[in-house]
């Protein structure tokens, strides 16, 4: 159980127009706790992904007349460094902000912030994770409360409920008085996919679905757009299951956080999902296959070669038969034909369910059996790729009476990493014992039904019941009620750290005049700082060893498992840059970097630190350009160039590229100034 939420470490800026301000999320409380004997630290981007739009401050909690204030439940999928997936069920909602945070960060009283509670698993049990999480959420905010402390209930579920053994057992467990169960299919079946494929076929018509499938199979850059997070994840997961037995080998981010929109510029294949509300006008879309799930629309600047006619006709016809059975079968006799009956037609009168999901996946597996017909005869480990592509294409050309030159789609497919990975797995018989594609091709050759490749009988699963927890010292009949999602109990050390952070934030807000923040929300006609205020703020921001310089050094000293974008240091520096109309924060930050370089700093940054510094400099330059502050822009570019030249990690997403992409450089006066 991992809950991502804003806390002092999230770096909430003070003195800003809060209702228009989004900040980064951070990890608040993991269960079990992180450490050498517990769970490994989650990926640094995990908090950003569970709250993709960031954390926002609100003046109200829930408005029955405004659906945008309702809690949201959605799944996400994260990918670890070794390619394994982490499945996360999330509920995002508005929760009261603690009084000490409100005071330190000068947030209006009775304010609320986005919070997200999550269940994390290596098993794709989306439905049971969602059911369990929603039950916990309901218990927390129910007027009747719950019979045990909420965190005790959570800890019991996470620590005592095991994952079910595929095809062998069903795990029963309870959350308070709600009974839940978890079960996974046998390994001999298609890979476990605890999702409905209906959203995919509802969002895209048959031709668009086949076009997306082809683009994914050929490993293009895929960008899904939707205004629903759940839809982005379900469609991404569904298309990954439809390309089975091929596996997606590249970047996979079903929901990308808003501040990560620059990832779209990546030159390598990817599959990513982005909320429709995120602006991409500044991003180059050349070669990207953009799939708009709201409007059944696919756009791309590059041609996607079509699937060969025979396989395309089969795929399209079978999908239509599944989706529109009443039209396809309108001339068929309505009688029981026994063994002559088609399995897909027998689902015609049913509403969409697991049978339809299975049939859709089987249709695509049958497609692969056709287009890869006889591929095993051309596996040649003596070749670099392990496959004789030319001989395979010539054989297909003779069989279909089509020239090899017309097989552009197949030629591209057999060169993909996904196909080569499949061949490698085929050679590893221990790892790939259940090759359903080979079984289907063999069954088809014998004239058997495609269903013959699956076990004809599956034994009833063994029922494993997890006993409810007994909490020592709890009295029967006691109810635990909460006004907000309960905070974790802090150790003395954690409490002291919290107090010191809030004291530093509060002290910084008192030393830097807060009037500029008022002027930001007051518009461009607001008055400027007095000369004395300017001098005082400038000394505070530029003083070596002062708070800003100390924050800068602490940002560079963050541990390997800490995410700079979620840190208190990053958030407070960002606040100092944004919270005044005179630009003292931005110029002071640039001066901190310059002084550090002059003192001998070698500009060594990790990838994560580099991204954080880049974002801070982008903000400083953007605000400086709005004030015609040429000197700050010039200084920021100079320190950026120093960091890029001395960066031993050779970060591809380097600062200069992003600074030079800002619109400010299109103005002639800045071009001339930078050339000087």
- Whether 130 is covered by a domain: the verdict is yes
pLDDT at 129: 92
| Dist. CA 227–CA 278, nearest whole Å | 9
pLDDT at 653 over 50: no
Q: What pLDDT, on the 0 to 100 scale, is given for residue 331?
A: 60
In a domain, 77, yes or no: yes
C-alpha span between 81 and 41 (Å, rounded) = 13
- The residue from 164, 183, 216 where one domain ends is 164
Q: With the C-alpha atoms ordered 524, 530, 536, 542, is the resulting torsion angle positive or negative? A: positive
Band the pLDDT of 441: cuts 50, 70, 90. very high
- Residue 495 pLDDT more than 50? yes
C-alpha–C-alpha distance, residues 156 and 199, integer Å: 34
- The one-character DSSP state at 189 is S
SS3 at position 213: helix
Q: How confident is the model at residue 566 (pLDDT cuts 50, 70, 90)?
A: confident
Confidence of residue 393 (pLDDT cuts 50, 70, 90): very high
Cβ pair 448, 61 in contact under 8 A: no
Which phi and psi (to 5°) does residue 243 adopt? -90, 5
Asked whether residue 203 is assigned to any structural domain, the reply reads: no
Mean of the per-residue pLDDT values for the chain? Answer: 78
Q: State the sign of the Cα–Cα–Cα–Cα dihedral 545, 535, 643, 653.
A: positive
For residue 151, the domain's CATH number is 3.30.450
List CB contacts of 337: < 8 A, sequence separation 6 or more: none
Residues β-bridged to residue 58: 112
Query: What is the pLDDT at residue 670?
Result: 44
Beta bridge partners of 212: none
User: Domain boundary at 133, 164, 195, which?
Assistant: 164
Most confident of 251-265, 294-308, 615-629: 294-308
For residue 648, pLDDT over 80 is answered with no
For residue 37, what pLDDT is reported? 42
Reported as a pLDDT band with limits 50, 70 and 90, residue 455 is: confident
Residue 279 has pLDDT above 90, yes or no: no
Q: Does a structural domain hold residue 143?
A: yes
**Is residue 4 a contact partner of residue 116, using CB atoms and an 8 Å limit?**
yes
Q: Is residue 39 over pLDDT 60?
A: no
Closest CA to 183 of 171, 195, 173: 171
Its pTM surpasses 0.85: no
Per-residue pLDDT, averaged over 16-37, amounts to 57
**Cis? peptide before 32, omega within 30° of 0:** yes
The larger pLDDT score, comparing residue 504 to residue 646, is at 504
Over 60: is that where the pLDDT of 520 sits?
Answer: no
* pLDDT of 514 higher than 60: no
**Res 317 pLDDT > 90:** yes
Q: H-helix or E-strand containing 569?
A: helix 568-578
> Residue 75 and residue 243: Cα distance in Å, rounded?
21
Q: 20 lies in a domain?
A: yes
| pLDDT value of position 332 | 59
Q: Is residue 61 part of a domain?
A: yes
Of 115, 136, 164, which residue is a domain's last?
A: 164
In this prediction, residue 326 has a pLDDT band, given cuts at 50, 70 and 90, of low
The answer, yes or no, to whether residue 614 has pLDDT greater than 50, is yes
Identify the domain containing residue 540 by its residue range: 512-675
- Going by C-alpha positions, the residue among 526, 523, 503 that lies closest to residue 572 is 503
- % of the chain beyond a pLDDT of 90: 32
Question: Considering just the CA atoms, what is the radius of gyration of the chain in Å?
Answer: 29
Burial environment of residue 428 by CB neighbours within 10 A (0 to 12, 13 to 18, 19 or more) = exposed
Residue 666, pLDDT score = 53
| 175 assigned to some structural domain | no
**Kindly report the CA angle at 339 between 334 and 343, in degrees rounded to 5?**
70
Is residue 658, in this structure, part of any structural domain at all?
A: yes
- pLDDT, residue 532, reads 47
Residue 562, pLDDT above cutoff 80? no
Average pLDDT score over residue span 535-563: 59
> Residue 545 has what pLDDT?
41
- Count structural domains, the chain: 2
Q: What angle do CA 593, 26, 73 make, to 5 degrees?
A: 145
């Amino acid at each position: 159980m991992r809950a991502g939420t804003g806390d002092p470490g999230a770096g909430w800026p003070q003195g800003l127009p809060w209702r228009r301000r989004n900040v980064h999320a951070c990890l608040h409380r993991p269960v079990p706790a992180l450490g050498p004997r517990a769970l490994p630290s989650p990926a640094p981007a995990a908090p950003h992904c569970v709250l993709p739009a960031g954390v926002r401050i609100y003046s109200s909690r829930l408005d029955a007349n405004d659906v945008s204030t309702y809690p949201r439940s959605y799944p996400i999928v994260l990918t670890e460094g070794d390619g394994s997936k982490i499945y996360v069920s999330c509920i995002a909602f508005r929760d009261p902000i603690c009084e000490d945070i409100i005071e330190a960060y000068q947030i209006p009283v009775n304010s609320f912030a986005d919070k997200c509670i999550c269940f994390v698993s290596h098993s794709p049990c989306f439905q049971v994770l969602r059911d369990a999480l929603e039950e916990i959420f309901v218990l927390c905010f129910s007027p009747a409360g719950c019979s045990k402390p909420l965190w005790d209930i959570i800890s019991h579920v996470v620590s005592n409920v095991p994952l079910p053994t595929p095809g062998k057992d069903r795990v029963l467990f309870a959350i308070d008085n709600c009974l839940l169960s978890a079960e996974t299919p046998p390994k001999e079946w298609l890979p476990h996919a605890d999702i409905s494929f209906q959203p995919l076929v509802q969002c895209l018509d048959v031709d668009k679905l086949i076009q997306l499938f082809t683009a994914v199979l050929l490993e293009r850059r895929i960008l899904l757009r939707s205004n629903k997070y759940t839809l982005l994840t379900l469609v991404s997961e569904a298309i990954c299951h439809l390309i089975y037995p091929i596996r997606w080998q590249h970047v996979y981010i079903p929901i990308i956080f808003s501040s990560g929109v620059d990832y779209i510029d990546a030159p390598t294949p990817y599959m990513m999902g982005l909320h429709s509300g995120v602006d991409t006008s500044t991003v180059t879309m050349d070669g990207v296959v953009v799939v708009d799930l709201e409007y059944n629309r696919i756009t791309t600047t590059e041609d996607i070669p079509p699937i060969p006619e025979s396989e395309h006709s089969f795929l399209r016809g079978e999908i239509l038969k599944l989706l529109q059975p009443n039209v396809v079968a309108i001339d068929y006799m309505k009688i029981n034909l026994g063994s002559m009956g088609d399995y897909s037609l027998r689902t015609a009168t049913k509403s969409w369910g697991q049978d339809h999901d299975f049939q859709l996946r089987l249709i695509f597996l049958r497609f692969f059996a056709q287009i890869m017909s006889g591929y095993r005869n051309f596996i040649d480990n003596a070749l670099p790729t392990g496959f004789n592509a030319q001989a395979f294409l010539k054989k297909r050309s003779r069989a279909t009476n089509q020239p090899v030159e017309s097989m552009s789609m197949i030629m591209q497919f057999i060169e993909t990493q996904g196909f080569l990975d499949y061949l490698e797995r085929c050679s590893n018989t221990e790892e790939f014992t259940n090759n359903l594609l080979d079984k289907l091709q063999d069954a088809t050759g014998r004239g058997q039904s495609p269903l013959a490749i699956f076990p004809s009988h599956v034994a009833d699963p063994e029922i494993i019941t997890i006993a409810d927890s007994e909490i020592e010292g709890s009295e029967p009949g006691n109810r635990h009620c909460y006004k907000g999602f309960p905070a974790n109990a802090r150790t003395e050390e954690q409490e002291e750290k919290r107090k010191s952070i809030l004291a530093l934030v509060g002290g910084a807000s008192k030393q830097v005049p807060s009037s500029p923040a008022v002027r930001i929300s007051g518009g461009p006609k607001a008055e400027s700082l007095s000369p004395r205020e300017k001098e005082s703020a400038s000394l505070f921001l530029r003083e070596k060893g002062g708070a800003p310089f100390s924050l800068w050094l602490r940002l560079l000293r963050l541990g390997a498992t800490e995410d700079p974008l979620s840190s208190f240091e990053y958030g407070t520096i960002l606040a100092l840059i944004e919270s005044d109309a005179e630009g003292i924060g931005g110029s002071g930050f640039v001066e901190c970097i310059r002084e550090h370089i002059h003192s001998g700093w070698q500009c060594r940054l990790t990838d994560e630190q580099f991204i954080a510094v880049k974002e801070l400099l982008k903000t400083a330059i953007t605000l400086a350009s709005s004030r015609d502050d040429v000197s700050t822009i010039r200084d920021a570019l100079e320190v950026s160039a120093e960091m890029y030249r001395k960066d031993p990690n050779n970060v591809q997403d380097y600062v200069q590229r992003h600074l030079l992409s800002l619109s400010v450089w299109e103005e002639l006066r800045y071009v001339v100034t930078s050339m000087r």
